[in-house]
């Protein structure tokens, strides 16, 4: 279904592609874009880059697991054993490759933000923090995280603490069901703990 998203990425080919994504996904991207602009403005982060990263962060989210796996191999990505089992985890890294390969987006901060928007990682830029938070603060994720209003307020005041709050909660819920946590999430959490405490 063709739909207008009402926001331009500044790249006509990319806009056309985004408009063809599933409607629910497009709505999530638009909400993430709006949240990214809000946070970037508050924290004096480049709104153009943050908005672009948020608008396209899930560009590969509707691609099926086996196809994501095939694309990851084609792009020469290192596939962690966890990503081999839960192939949806590849949608960030594959999305970043697609943005560069198919749409000529080569801004390192934008690509990094898209690549790590699911797990986060250590040493990421403010663009990646805005993108991670804009994705997680979506109202449709309220069932996954506690106190979204508090986390939203935290994100407006201190992005590092807000990212850490999401990571701590996500990691403990994965550990509590006896599952393995992606090492990038652990490294991201550990670095933020060092920075904050």
Q: Is 58 in the site for Fe ion (CB under 5 A)?
A: yes
Best CA proximity match to 99, nearest among 50, 53, 30, 36:
53
Q: Shortest Cβ distance from residue 63 to Fe ion (Å)?
A: 11
Q: Is 83 in the site for Fe ion (CB under 5 A)?
A: no
Yes or no: say if 160 and 192 are a contact pair by the CB < 8 Å rule: yes
Nearer to Fe ion, 140 or 196 (CB): 140
The stretch near Fe ion (CB under 5 A) out of 57-65, 159-167, 178-186, 187-195 is: 57-65
For 31, the token pair is 């909400």
For 76, the token pair is 């020469």
Best CA proximity match to 90, nearest among 64, 128, 111:
64
Q: Where are the beta strands (DSSP E) in the chain?
A: none
The stretch near Fe ion (CB under 5 A) out of 7-15, 56-64, 141-149, 182-190 is: 56-64
The stretch near Fe ion (CB under 5 A) out of 78-86, 130-138, 167-175, 183-191 is: 130-138
Yes or no: say if 63 and 57 are a contact pair by the CB < 8 Å rule: no
Q: Shortest Cβ distance from residue 136 to Fe ion (Å)?
A: 8
Residues that bind Fe ion (CB under 5 A): 58, 135
């Amino acid at each position: 279904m063709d739909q207008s998203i009402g926001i331009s990425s500044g790249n006509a080919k990319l806009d056309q592609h985004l408009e063809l994504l599933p409607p629910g996904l497009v709505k999530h991207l638009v909400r993430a874009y709006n949240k990214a602009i809000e946070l970037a403005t508050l924290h004096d982060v480049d709104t153009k880059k943050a908005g672009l990263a948020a608008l396209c962060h899930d560009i590969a989210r509707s691609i099926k697991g086996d196809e994501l796996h095939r694309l990851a191999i084609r792009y020469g990505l290192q596939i962690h054993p966890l990503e081999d089992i839960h192939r949806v985890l590849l949608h960030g890294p594959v999305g970043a490759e697609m943005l560069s390969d198919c749409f000529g987006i080569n801004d390192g901060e934008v690509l990094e933000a898209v690549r790590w928007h699911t797990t986060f990682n250590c040493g990421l830029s403010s663009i990646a923090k805005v993108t991670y938070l804009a994705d997680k603060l979506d109202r449709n994720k309220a069932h996954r995280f506690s106190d979204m209003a508090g986390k939203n307020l935290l994100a407006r005041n201190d992005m590092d603490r807000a990212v850490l709050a999401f990571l701590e909660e996500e990691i403990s819920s994965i550990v509590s069901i006896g599952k393995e946590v992606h090492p990038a999430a652990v490294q991201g959490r550990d670095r933020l703990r060092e920075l904050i405490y």
